Structure 1
Amino acid sequence: MPLPSPDPTTASLARAAVPLRSLSADAPTTDLQPLRQVLDGVRIIGLGEATHGTREFFRLKHRLLAFLVRELGCTALAMEASESAAPAVDAYVRSGVGSAEQAVAGLGFWTWQTREVLAMVEWMRTYNRQRPASERVRFLGIDPQKCGPSLTALDTLLGRLPAPERNRATALLAPLHTLATAHPGSQPDPERQLVRGAEELSRLLTPYGSDAARHARNLVRAADLVTRPRQHTDPEQTVFAVRDRYMADALEAEPSAKIALWAHNGHIGTTHHGGGALRPLGSHLRDRHGDAYYALALLFGSGAFRARRTLPGPWQNRRARTRDAKVPSHRIGPPAPNTVEAQLASATPTDHFLDLRTAPEPVRAWAAVPHPHRSFGAMVPRWTYHLHHTPVTLTATYDGLAYIAASSPSEPFPHPTA
């Protein structure tokens, strides 16, 4: 008896898939050459991730960044990381100031304190070392969170101000020091006192140079996030919507740069997972740049990834003494049959890329209706994470997909001593 023919969607997905032969940044780029046509005319390339703790996602992003820089003229990497701390990473990759370990650790998120991100930062430094300043690739942070470096910089600056301005700025800055450790949405304040103080400080310091103005602006954004509500009758007034809007605004400060954007799938997509009125970062970029923005989601089949648990438990390694012991690994089996990942794996079980903009009609028809897919943030439910799926309409949310068959946990590096 002859074998049944695959359904049209599976067959079309298999034909449209572009195999990824390697995840190494040093590998030949023959398999990436189809991206030249896909990304023609694109200025901002969103590189997503279904988890914040998958080694293979980070390695693929490193490889794609190297390709984009070397062959497609990319001039900056913008990351879902502290805009206050990012200048230290930029100083390292462009001029060799400080150390890569200290700069990456200073970004403030456990998600990026990994050997994979460190290797990417070291690659950027190596690439830049033999190039003139005008041709060096930059590192940008776009997240208003983790504003401690801006507070430190302004503390130093105040000592150089004339007495009247110094006294007023000191009074305004004092309550803002709570922002260094406060979480977004943790201090809802309808009166917006922290924000008003940060805005006055910004107006006061603007005449004292671009660095002072930049750090003060960072505090305005950080204060806004901390005091925004998590829930509101208008979703665009919530901390989640405001954070993504600020991250989009940060990219507008680089109007001539060709940017690789590193963030979670939930941010780089052009619609909110699960529907609703909340607008992600990618939605703002699509409105502002049209098809010059390309959202590439990274998905995986099975394996393991790192994430914090929402509840503590005895499975933690209590003997470990590093910060990274608090971020355990989570195993997960093959995707459920009705998911996006299962359909991709059925068509092409190995690592591959799929461009949705030019996909054949059976693929576009499949991608135009909602399907569940995996999306894990920095924290997951302790027992039920493997059951978690969110619906997505692929053609409305992403421009392309990269499927990684096997996920393994990202590898932390020890927090460097000062």
Structure 2
Amino acid sequence: MAMPRTRTLSDAAHVSRIVTQEARHLSGEGHDFDPIVERARDARYVLIGEASHGTHDFYHLRGEITKRLIRELGFAGVAVEADWPDAFRVNRFVRGSPGDHDADEALGGFRRFPQWMWRNVDVLDFVGWLRAHNDHLPAGARPAGFYGLDLYSMHASMAAVLEYLDVVDPEAARRARHRYACFDHFGDDPQEYGFAVSRGMSEPCEPEVVAQLVDMQRGAAAYAERDGRLPPDAHFFAQQNARLVANAEQYYRAMFRGRADSWNVRDRHMFETLRLLSDHLRAETGGGAKLVVWAHNSHLGNAAATEMSEMGELNLGQLARQEFGREALLVGFSTYTGTVTAAHDWGGQAERMMVRPGLPDSYEQVFHDAGPRLLLDLRDNGVLRDVLDEPRLQRAIGVIYRPRTERLSHYFRARLPEQFDVMLHYDTTRAVEPLERTGAWEKGELPETYPSAL
């Protein structure tokens, strides 16, 4: 995407005044999200983003929107930016399968960094609500599910494939163990495998993992007849794990070729998983199977409308828009300041950090000047589309937050009306509360003006 000149600060003030006039000012009541629910009636997928991986407001509010979509429009569940096997454990719980006794136990698979993304108070509440909702459905109604889209669980997914085959086809399990043994001498960190292959120190395991996926696909019909002893979705769960292993193998090799290669492998995997999940649910019900998606704005906003495209990156939102058109509703979140749960470095402990005010001339600054809580219709409101169409800075905080290098680390340019269909702005937000709170999180971060407050 070619980026034209940026607007001046005086232009930004003018834009803010128009946004104030055209946006829906939110009251905190349930009807705030009526425009999203109405648009979702014609959508197969509602993709709801977040401007950080550690903001309570984003988790809570997209949970409230999702509840309405499930209750009022019959959405079949939510697919999230989480590993397939860990999320499927939650799926078993919310659908009443034997195993975990409560939502906390069901979230027990999310133990690797950054565990607060899914082991937090807001997700705990939503999972508990989803189980209660399903428990009160009339007989014969399909319960709503909870699914993962990500591919970081290579070893856990290999173990899940073997566990399934041990039950339905011990000989196939033997072949699978032989194939997956290709990874044995790299230890538990798949990045060691990717590094060794990228440096020519080892042959890739691609032929083995692809052969295993093909075996699972060929055996689908026969296994479906044999797995009556297992949960109803057992074969689909196992086959998706085999697919995840094949894509993860490709991802960890791509990591050492550059960011764009690995990013694209990951988002294509998430899109492929979403499409296959939807097809599976449709086949089960014999009808429609609408899904909500939860992931970061950087995955769900159309990458073709951002600087990501200039770096050769695509994302799930772009693929969904290209494939499904207006049947994919893209919803983003924004905040100006507040607190966030994040780490300073990858693998670090969760901390409660202060979010710096949005940079001048950024979308965050424009919305801050327009009102404290806003809903912007970017699909059909021509005035908003026109005034917000020129590229501006937009902030993205992941699991790592580095405020001292914020412009370089967390901002990129985007054309908002092409990136999202709806944008929700909450001016001041607070950090999501992890289920496992560290001393650093409890203490929080002192203001930069401490102790003078100046």
Do both proteins adopt the same fold according to a TM-score greater than 0.5, normalized to the shorter chain? yes
2-side partners of 1:328 and 1:263: how far apart? 21
Question: Contact (CA 8 Å) 2:355, 2:403: kept in 1 or not?
Answer: no
Written as runs of structure 1 = structure 2, the 5 A alignment for 1:256-335 is 256-271=288-303, 273-274=306-307, 275-276=309-310, 277-310=312-345, 326-335=349-358
Deviation at 1:43, TM superposition (A): 1.6
Rounded to whole Å, the distance in 2 between the matches of 1:270 and 1:192 is: 36
Aligned match of 2:243: 217
CA contact (8 A) 1:84 1:144 kept: no
- For 2:440, the equivalent position in structure 1 comes to none
Paired positions, count: 389
Q: C-alpha separation between the residues in 2 aligned to 1:351 and 1:219?
A: 42
Please state how far the C-alpha of 1:366 moved relative to its aligned partner.
2.5
Query: Relative to structure 1, is the Cα distance of residues 114 and 185 closer, same or farther in structure 2, using a 3 angstrom cutoff?
Result: farther
Q: Contact 2:80–2:148 (CA<8 Å) still a contact in 1?
A: yes
The gaps in structure 2 that reach 5 residues or longer are: 1-11, 225-234, 280-287, 438-454
Does 2:91 align with 1:90?
Answer: yes
Shift of 1:299: 0.5
Match of 2:395 among 370, 374, 384: 374
Distance change (3 Å), C-alpha of 1:188 and 1:74 = farther
- Which residue is equivalent to 2:141? 134
Show the 5 A alignment for 1:188-207: 189=197, 193-206=204-217, 207=219
User: What is the aligned counterpart of 1:356 among 362, 366, 378?
Assistant: 378
| Deviation by residue 1:12-33 (Cα, 9 ceiling, x = unmatched) | 31232223333xxxxx522222
Q: Quick check: 1:185–1:230 contact (8 Å CA) kept in 2?
A: no
Partner of 1:317: none
Which letter maps to 1:300?
A: T
Match of 1:170 in 2: 177
In the alignment, the residues of structure 2 paired with residue 85 and residue 304 of structure 1 have an alpha-carbon distance, to the nearest angstrom, of 28
Given the superposition, is the C-alpha separation of residues 293 and 205 from structure 1 closer, same or farther in structure 2, using an over 3 Å criterion? Answer: closer
SS of the equivalent of 1:309 reads: coil
Compared with structure 1, are the counterparts of its residues 12 and 230 closer, same or farther at alpha carbon in structure 2 (3 Å cutoff)?
farther
Matched, 1:407 2:429: yes
Q: What RMSD, in angstroms, separates the aligned Cα atoms of the two structures?
A: 2.8
User: For the residues of structure 2 that align with 1:186 and 1:222, how far apart are their CA atoms?
Assistant: 10
Q: 2:126 aligns with which of 114, 120, 129?
A: 120
Where 2:147 maps in the other structure, the secondary structure is strand
Using structure 2 for the length normalisation, give the TM-score: 0.78
The code of the aligned residue for 1:369 comes to E
Any unmatched runs of 5+ in structure 1? 1-5, 23-27, 313-324
Q: Secondary structure at the match of 2:146?
A: strand
CA separation of 1:44 and 1:336: change in aligned 2, threshold 3 A = same
Task: State the partner residue of 2:227.
Answer: none
Shift of 1:74: 1.8
- Counterpart of 1:25 in structure 2 is none
Distance 1:347 1:374 in 2: 17
Q: Tell me the TM-score normalised to structure 1 length.
A: 0.84
Match of 1:391 in 2: 413
The AA in structure 2 aligned to 1:225 is: Y
1:17 to 15, 18, 23: 23
SS of the aligned residue for 2:404 comes to coil
Which residue number corresponds to residue 101 of structure 1? 104
Identity %: 23
Counterpart of 1:321?
none
Deviations 1:35-58 (A, max 9, x none): 344334122111111110011111
State whether residues 346 and 400 of structure 2, in contact with CA within 8 Å, keep that contact through their aligned partners in structure 1: no
179-188 vs 204-213, which moves further: 179-188
**Match for 2:153: what amino acid?**
K
1:381-414 deviations in whole A, cap 9, x for unaligned? 3632377421111122111110011121110113
Q: 1:336–1:185: structure 2 CA closer, same or farther, 3 Å change rule?
A: farther
